[in-house]
Chain A
Amino acid sequence: MGGLQKKKYERGSATNYITRNRARKKLMLSLPDFRRLCILKGIYPHEPKHKKKVNKGSTAPRTFYLLKDIRFLLHEPIVSKFREYKIFVRKLRRAYGKTEWSAVERLKENKPAYKLDHIVKERYPTFIDALRDIDDALCMGFLFSTFARTGKCHVQTIQLCRRLTVEWMNYVIASRALRKVFLSIKGIYYQAEVMGQLITWLVPYQFSHDHPTDVDYRVMATFTELYTTLLGFVNFRLYQSLNLVYPPKVSDSKSFKGKLSALSSSLARVVSSEEEEDAKLDEFPDEGEDMEKMEAREKEQKQLETQKKIFEGLKFFINREVPRESLAFVIRCFGGQVSWDKSVCIGSTYDVTDETITHQIVDRPNVDKQYMNRYYIQPQWVYDCVNAKIRLPVEDYFLGVNLPPHLSPFVEEKEGDYVPPEKLKIMALQRGEKLGMYQASQQDEEEEEEEEEEEDENEEEEDDEEEAEEKNLKKMEEQRSQGKSLQVKVTPGKVKVENPARLEQEEKAEEKRLAIMMMKKKEKYLYDKIMFGKKRKVREVNKLAAKRKAHDDAEKAKKKKARK
């Protein structure tokens, strides 16, 4: 016993953390600079488990950092650059104040600048690491590239973001990596698969900015600074992987910078001969289960291949009221040719009058002059085709037609979930079922829906038959148990057709029933619970479907009334 008295807060978690202000003082930086450094280096505040211990007995909310992180920051060469910049600003202000213009010139010439290359390398040691974190970079890039040049951020940053995002889009086009598109009320969500990584990004609609006041632009600009560097390096690597020239060039010889951003022409390659590599999945003769998986994978691969080519051979023309960039990007990603009016943007490859145009994308109630040999469709068709992975029938998307809902491709329904009928239809189309001839008239559509329902009902009917038989048997048994003599009647016998598949099913069902009977009480309880949950789900789904039907009926009635 005895010994020196242990002092409080000199060991344990109190020494592992450091408050923001102390960290700032340790690094000799101002708060904005400190914040910048932390963002660039990827060092984030940390919430300690025992705040009171860390905060030396006080419970005041504070921002804490791990001490080791801050120690790591001390070695960063950029810190000295920040200080240099601070001094530069001071000198410049002084020169301005004294109206020494030559000094101002000289200072501006020697403005200190720094690079983030080493930080990118340090934070993302491998290319895949960088690719995993590219979502944020893309979002910020696309966001900043749509900013107006109003002094909210540097014009140069906007230009750099624009350049990088255009490069990215061109890469996605060249590699045909786009998978999903979702037009939301916020912006357009895209998802691409690059080198096995699913990358999602959000692009704002054009001209949709009001600058919110509660966003710290400095912080956002710092993030963008890092992400532009990252995105540039990633772009370089991706271009290299496709044998494309970086910085990208349009493949026709006489072209200039703006044409790249038009997204209408293909890129120049390092190796001019384009060799189509048909990389087939390696097949390993293996056991049954693996084979099944392999088959599934192969099927998926095939589907992907077809998805990549859904617009191949089609020639689109984009009207001026349609968002050009997004559509051009999506169409080109799936192999279509695209053009627009010359006055909309440079890079248009053919005119409206071109006879070979197959689809013209229009977003207005009617068009004055229509060509016979092309479809006039609304832009949603393109996006829905991409999400459905097939070329959908164009009839639902004709001019002035009420569009079917644009479903989110990011929702994946589990078994037993409610699936909207539109999606069911698309799924049926994907399976290759043809639901009769599609026609534009509403009534036909209705009939189809009914047909569809009938199909569903057919499936149900079989179950009903079974139930009916069982009921009959039950009745007979009851009667027997009551001791009544059965009404005996001799009828000519029927040859019972034995359906082997059905027999098998029955056997399985019997086995299942037996297994349930043999369950322990505890397991039985759990099983009942699960089944109850499933049933509840089914009930909910049925409810939703019924609601939907009621809604649709009401709509139809309304329409009919309106027609009359």
Chain B
Amino acid sequence: MAARRRLKRVAASQSGFLSFKSPSDPTASVGSRRKRVNKNKKKNWNKYSDVNDVDEFLEDVRHQERTTGGLLSEKADDSLFFLDLGQPEKPQPQAETPQADEGRKRKGKASRPLRIDLILKPDSLVPPPKDILAYQQPNAKKLRRIAEKAERLAAKGVVPRKQKRLLNRRPIDRTVKKAVAEANNNPDRDYYDIWGQEPKVSADPWYLQQTGKKLVKRPAKLNEKPSVLPAVEVIAPGGSYNPDFFSHQALLQEAHQVEVQKKKQEDKLERQLAINKKDKATEETNLREQVEGLVEEENDDEELAPSKEDDEAALAAIAVTQKKSEKQIKKEKAEKFKEQQRLTSRRQTERQQQLFQLRSIKASIRQQEEKTKSKQMQRRIKQEAQKAQPRRLGKLKFQAPDLDVQLSDELAGSLRQLKPEGSILKDRFKSFQKRNLIEPRERAKFKRKLKVKYVEKRAFREIT
């Protein structure tokens, strides 16, 4: 506002200033009727007063200030005009050596600002306005007063409440970093005596139980091993890198047996899958098939005739089953009764006779007991043997790995030339399976979702 006012003042002092009335004139001349407007409202002042001339003038003033740094009218004449004395004498460039000249040229080039910078450089001579807030502090007085008071109190030794509260707060243990969870396989992790010290239970057991944080005791049954097999089964003596002849032969024999067994099974499967030779098409069967139905066979009628006779016979058999007469029924009943009596009497005598067979009965009982005992033994032995066997734990059965064997000509003469056989990783894996620690599995097969489309490339097609 202040700047504007100053400008107005300046405008008034200007000689070429038109009177204030002039803005109303053009409107009067252009419009036939002057629009009447109440000027008692600020809104209307803005709306219906023409300020173009003032703006133009102000723009001119601003332009002058920008380009020359002030109003031209206020400037001294010396600063505006100069005495023209003709062309000044040019300094002669020939005086300097060309080399030095080149060097300077380069220097000049380097030091000259870019044209783009020159264009972008502000050419206004009006200094930018100062940001007052950058120098002034809001509430400076109040703040100064507070600071003074604080100083006074500090001199007395009184601690302000805010600080006192901070001091009273429980100190945070900065030394304990937020426990970064250390990975389990960190190679530098540290171990301690896990069996020596009992883990101290910090919290109330009731609390732990209610919140589900209490460690549950492991059932003792879980510590039983699922198999009696040892963790590491040492290879047979024939598996030595430099084996004794016979143990090596024994191992080879064993491996051979396994192979033979495998071959047998394969052969069996092949046999079962083989095509029966009778089912094969021969020329004769082919011919018969081709003439099927074309050649009439004579014995058709003969076959039909006996079948009719059979039917008649069956009908007759049904008719024969007639009701029994009363006499017959009575007779049958009596026979049945008689038979039953005979059987009971016989049983009785048998039972009486058993009294004299006591010894043999006892013997037979003993025999039976022995039999059961031996069976029990066998069953127990079988169960024991089962404990060492891999169980059926899933879809797949355990398949024993191939025996690791080196043939006689593969054996290395020395440790240096030894070529290790088989993979220990696989051996371990199979051992876990054999001991029922994991179920045997197969690697998941890759399944293609979409069908593969084969297209003959153009270049290829041209050739073929």
Contact = CB atoms under 8 A, between A and B. Distances in A.
Contacts of A364: 416
A120 B420 contact: no
B237 A547 contact: no
Given A72-B218, A185-B421, A160 B427 contact: no
A405 interface: yes
B12 interface: no
- Give the one of A213, A236, A322, A551 with max B CB within 10 A: A236
A360 interface: no
Nearest to B438: A219
A72 B241 CA distance: 47
B184 A229 contact: yes
Contacts of A210: 423
B65 interface: no
A186 B424 contact: yes
Nearest to B182: A113
A156 B418 contact: no
A118 interface: yes
A406 B413 CA distance: 11
A10 interface: no
Interface centre among B181, B195, B418 (most CB of A within 10 A): B195
Contacts of B423: 209-210, 212, 215
A162 B235 CA distance: 25
Interface in A192-244: 200-202, 204-205, 208-216, 219-220, 223, 225, 228-229, 232-233, 235-237, 240
A247 B187 CA distance: 12
B441 to A, nearest CB: 7
Contacts of B429: 215-216, 219-220
Contacts of B185: 154, 156-157, 160, 225, 228
B184 A115 contact: yes
Contact of B416 (A115, A129, A143, A322): A322
A410 interface: yes
Contacts of B243: 405-406
Contacts, number: 244
Give the size range of B's interface with the partner: 35 or more
Contact of B230 (A75, A135, A185, A402): A135
Interface stretch (A22-30, A61-69, A289-297): A61-69
Interface string B373-416: 00000000000000000011111000000001110000001111
A125 B232 CA distance: 23
A548 B246 contact: yes
A228 B247 CA distance: 36
Interface stretch (B14-22, B131-139, B219-227, B350-358): B219-227
B394 A62 contact: yes
A127 interface: yes
B123 to A, nearest CB: 45
| Most chain A CB inside 10 Å of its own CB: which residue of B189, B215, B234, B415 | B415
B238 to A, nearest CB: 8
A123 B182 CA distance: 22
A411 B238 CA distance: 11
B146 to A, nearest CB: 40
Contact of A42 (B181, B222, B230): B222
Interface in B201-229: 212-213, 215-216, 218-219, 222-223, 226
B245 A135 contact: no
Contact of B232 (A77, A120, A189): A189
A415 interface: no
Contacts of A402: 413
A428 interface: no
Contact of A410 (B180, B183, B234, B405): B234
Given A114-B184, A156-B183, A406-B243, A236 B192 contact: yes
Looking at A47, A240, A410, A418, which has the most chain B CB atoms within 10 Å of its CB?
Answer: A47
B240 A220 contact: no
B199 A121 contact: yes
Nearest to A379: B415
Contacts of B199: 118, 121
Contacts of A219: 429, 432, 438
A163 interface: yes
Nearest to A63: B394
A112 interface: yes
9 contacts: A139-B424, A185-B421, A189-B235, A201-B232, A205-B420, A215-B429, A235-B191, A323-B415, A420-B244
Given A212-B425, A233-B192, A408-B234, 18 more contacts: A44-B436, A45-B394, A75-B216, A77-B215, A113-B181, A120-B194, A136-B232, A143-B425, A184-B234, A202-B427, A216-B443, A220-B428, A232-B191, A233-B194, A233-B195, A322-B416, A411-B237, A547-B246
